[in-house]
Amino acid sequence: MDLGKARRVRIYVNEGDKIGHQPAPMALIEFLRRQNAQGATVFRASAGFGAAGAIHVPHLVDVAQDLPVLVEWIDSVERTERLLPRLKEIVPRGLVTMEEVEIVLFQPHPVRDLPMTLTAADVMSKVVTTVAKNTPLREVVELVLGKLYRAVPVVDNGTPVGIITNSDLVRKGGLSVRLDLLNSLGRPEVLAVLDNLAAGNKVAADVMTTNPITVRATTPLPRIADVMTHRRLKRLPVVDDSGALVGIVTRVDLLRTAAGSSEHREPIPREIGLAGDTPLSKIMRRDIPTVHPDTPLPEVFQAIVSSRLNRALVVDGECHLVGLVTDAELLERLAPSLRPSALRSLMHRIPFAHPKGAGATEHHARAQCAADLMIRDVPTTTEETLLSNAIARMLRGSHKVLAVVDAGRHLVGIVDRADLLHGLAQIV
């Protein structure tokens, strides 16, 4: 856990509460541990009362006491946002609070107590958005807009028979905008895209990838990493022994587990069969899409669409890193009249067809060159950084890429999440 801002979640239950067949406090602690949370503590009260007004106190003659119990969990903002909805679903009754806290000291044990082999069941998300084969495509898109996961399993009687990805929606469904870019558009533009999609009268079965690759709940994480790497997949449905869907495991789940709880401690991935002690110099990409601060918009577009990263790094004349330009930033800085042309460029990876006539692009755009729209606070790391530490750095800020720089801040490489997972899967 990094020094600075964090969140404290407090869960008030009673000693006699059950989650399944377990006492609620123990079930909550085990849930948080399986999700790779930073840590949690159980406090048992000596007395108290709740909304019902009944006072609970310990008595030596009591056989079964029902005292208040507090489970306190302190973690990063990102992890609390991810786990809190699921936590609220499993709490049978009680009170859950959350507040901002300041971390002023954190000295963890050097090695976390993890099982030797974690499986899909240990890290997967159990709450999965699914659709049926006859679900209209517009409804499919509305289900995933703004969600963390942009793929939807298609199920028949609980068994996954297909999966719909961003690529399926674009190639087979006629979606004119990638889901991540769709969130950058205004509400009227989004509605127009959805209306156009609905006009095609297609349903999930028309666009889904059939016979999706799945993993069992008992599949070890190294095997999952290997499948994702070689199949170039970001997520996999998880099934039980009967083939029924029980969850979904994502690339981020694997990266989060491999990173452990802090980048300021010993790496743990080899304990779970992943190569987290590999330096970035062995896996980073050196073919970096770059532009200069004064590079005009059409050339910035060309740099972005030339790479699967959908972004370009901005460097000065001496190759010092000064900024980052993303496809979403480009789209945001253009007036609505230019967005159709911009989307065609980004979606089909073709040159930006700006309006004819001198100064037309500048007239419609709020930016004319890379310097006008770049993000200046670019996450960086070094070639010597270990893979597990780089993953922690990336996930802490929800970054998609890390720029690799030398001591003089000269750009020497770049890594994205796919690169990091590929490195983890290569045990040496």
Q: What is the mean pLDDT of the chain?
A: 80
Q: Can you tell me the distance from the alpha carbon of 325 to that of 332, in angstroms, rounded to the nearest whole number?
A: 11
Asked if the domains 4-106 and 122-269 are classified in one and the same CATH topology, the answer is no
Q: Can you tell me the distance from the alpha carbon of 248 to that of 63, in angstroms, rounded to the nearest whole number?
A: 42
Q: Can you tell me the distance from the alpha carbon of 236 to that of 247, in angstroms, rounded to the nearest whole number?
A: 9
* Domain residue ranges in the chain: 4-106, 122-269, 281-425
pLDDT at 264 over 70: no
Dihedral angle over CA of 29, 33, 38, 42, nearest 10? 10
pLDDT at 353 over 80: no
Pick the CATH number of 122-269 from 3.30.70.100, 3.60.130.10, 3.40.47.10, 3.10.580.10: 3.10.580.10
Kindly state the average pLDDT of the residues 213-221: 94
**Residue 321 identity:** L
- Predicted model pTM: 0.62
Highest mean pLDDT among 83-87, 309-313, 353-357: 309-313
281-425: what fold?
CBS-domain (3.10.580)
Which DSSP state fits 282? G
Kindly state the average pLDDT of the residues 162-166: 93
Q: What pLDDT score does 322 carry?
A: 95
Q: What is the pLDDT of residues 371-402, one digit of tens each?
A: 988 888 899 999 999 888 888 888 877 788 99
Which two tokens mark 267?
Answer: 């790496």
Could you please report the per-residue DSSP string of 167-213?
A: HHHHHTT--SS-HHHHTTS-HHHHHHHHHHHHHTT-BHHHH-EES--
Report the largest interatomic distance among the alpha carbons of the chain, rounded to a whole angstrom: 91
CATH 3.40.50.280 for domain 4-106, yes or no, is no
Dihedral angle over CA of 212, 143, 258, 111, nearest 10? -130
**Residue 60 identity:** L
pLDDT at 68 over 90: no
**What whole-number percentage of the chain has pLDDT above 70?**
80
